[in-house]
């Protein structure tokens, strides 16, 4: 079984010194930290009632097109949750368990320690998944930095997470966009236009979060593919926005596109509307040298 090396772990640059670790343990003993992981909404409902009733409440009544959007959104959310879990497990294992050989201080020794953390069934598999995931993400990050430069993520979205914490799907889509020939400035314009159009035209199965999402990237990639098939290949924001408007107008059966006008923040985080399902989210607070917060949007 191989594990991700500490030097390549997402979001970390230095292992804590033993003294710092001991000091941190003393602080934790006197001031217990809040739970690192909080489950609400759908996750809590599934834990209490099983998957059938909560998912029926969320998905029943949707058209097939709406259900397809909602299912993609749900499965992407679970994938992102798995990625964050991998980051947390990798950090614990590579920065605490291995360097300090914690099994030597556990009653029953190493065998009992490995058994109690479910190494074969959970930890080992999670470390392996995290290592593979991180390798894919690093390749896409290198591609993006080579084409758009360091700090590209803040140019696209000022509130974006650090690249090491962004999801595989997000980074893969962005890398495809960067490789298509579009400039960073044009990508920022068209992605923000797509985000505002999504918020301005809410539908069931479509989230209204004011942030660039994988669904927004995929729409822009579709517009890029449409331009690719035309005689005049121009990847400017104006051309791509025009292509997106034409596709949206065709889909609505309208003669004029609806241009979103959004000056302020989006509506509160929610999944719209109209089932009885409550909004849900997963928050993971990942403590490194500097506290990071990874919030999976509802």
pLDDT in tens, 9-36: 444 333 444 433 333 333 333 344 343 3
Q: Cβ–Cβ contacts within 10 Å for residue 184, how many?
A: 17
**DSSP secondary structure letter of residue 271:** B
Q: Is 24 domain-assigned?
A: no
Q: Provide the 3-class DSSP secondary structure of residue 39.
A: strand
pLDDT, residue 67, reads 86
Closest CA to 58 of 206, 297, 271: 271
pLDDT band at 252; cut points 50, 70, 90: low
Residue 296, SS3? strand
In a domain, 17, yes or no: no
pLDDT at 59: 85
Max distance between CA atoms of the chain, in angstroms, equals: 73
| Residue in the block written with tokens 């591609």 | 143
> Which pLDDT value is given to residue 112?
96
Residue 239 CB burial class (10 angstroms; 0-12, 13-18, ≥19): buried
Q: Is the dihedral of CA 282, 294, 150, 210 positive or negative?
A: positive
- Rounded Cα–Cα distance for residues 273 and 269 (Å): 12
Q: Which of 258, 210, 203 is nearest to 62 (CA)?
A: 203
Q: Which of 45-59, 141-155, 273-287 has the highest mean pLDDT?
A: 141-155
On the question of pLDDT at 48 being above 80, the answer is: yes
- Whether 2 is covered by a domain: the verdict is no
- The verdict on residue 22 lying in a domain is no
Q: How many helices (H) and strands (E) does the chain have?
A: 12, 3
Is residue 19 in some structural domain? Answer: no
Is residue 271 pLDDT above 60, yes or no? Answer: no
DSSP secondary structure of 82-94: HHHHHHHHHHHII
The total of structural domains in the chain comes to: 1
In a domain, 133, yes or no: yes
Is the pTM value of this prediction over 0.75?
no
* Mean pLDDT value across the chain: 73
Q: How confident is the model at residue 206 (pLDDT cuts 50, 70, 90)?
A: low
Is 7 part of any domain? no
- Determine the 3-state secondary structure of 207 from DSSP: strand
Percent of the chain past pLDDT 90, that is, above it, reads: 29
Q: What angle do CA 215, 219, 225 make, to 5 degrees?
A: 140
Confidence of residue 281 (pLDDT cuts 50, 70, 90): very low
Structure tokens that stand for 210 in this block: 């004011």
Among the residue ranges 25-29, 186-190, 201-205, 216-220, the one predicted with the least confidence is 25-29
- Tens-place pLDDT, residues 74-124: 887 788 788 888 888 999 999 999 999 999 999 999 999 999 999 999 999
- CA torsion through residues 136, 297, 157, 66, sign: positive
Q: Point out the least confidently predicted range of 166-170, 220-224, 265-269, 286-290.
A: 286-290
Where in the sequence is the domain holding 282, given as residue range(s)?
34-296
**Who contacts 180 (Cβ-Cβ below 8 Å, separation ≥6)?**
221, 224, 228, 235
Domain assignment present for residue 98? The answer is: yes
């Amino acid at each position: 079984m191989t594990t991700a090396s500490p030097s390549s772990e997402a979001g970390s640059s230095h292992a804590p010194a033993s003294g710092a670790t001991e000091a941190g343990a003393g602080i934790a003993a006197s001031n217990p930290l809040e739970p690192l992981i909080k489950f609400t909404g759908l996750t809590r409902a599934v834990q209490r009632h099983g998957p059938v009733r909560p998912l029926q409440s969320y998905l029943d009544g949707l058209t097939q097109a709406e259900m397809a959007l909602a299912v993609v959104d749900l499965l992407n959310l679970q994938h992102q949750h798995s990625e964050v879990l991998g980051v947390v497990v990798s950090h614990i294992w590579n920065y605490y368990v291995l360097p300090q050989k914690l099994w030597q201080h556990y009653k029953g020794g190493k065998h009992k320690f490995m058994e109690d953390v479910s190494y074969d069934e959970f930890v080992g598999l999670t470390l392996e998944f995290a290592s593979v995931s991180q390798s894919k993400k690093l390749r896409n990050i290198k591609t993006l930095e080579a084409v758009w430069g360091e700090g590209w993520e803040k140019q696209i979205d000022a509130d974006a997470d650090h690249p090491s914490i962004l999801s595989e799907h997000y980074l893969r889509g962005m890398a495809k966009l960067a490789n298509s020939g579009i400039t960073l400035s044009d990508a920022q314009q068209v992605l923000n236009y797509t985000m505002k159009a999504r918020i301005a035209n809410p539908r069931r199965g479509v989230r209204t979060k004011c942030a660039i999402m994988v669904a927004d990237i995929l729409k822009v990639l579709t517009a890029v593919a449409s331009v690719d098939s035309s005689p005049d290949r121009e990847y400017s924001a104006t051309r791509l926005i025009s292509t997106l408007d034409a596709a949206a107008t065709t889909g609505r059966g309208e003669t004029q596109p609806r241009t979103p006008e959004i000056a302020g923040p989006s509506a509160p985080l929610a999944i719209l509307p109209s089932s009885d399902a409550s909004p849900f989210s997963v928050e993971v607070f990942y403590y490194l040298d500097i506290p990071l917060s990874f919030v999976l949007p509802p």
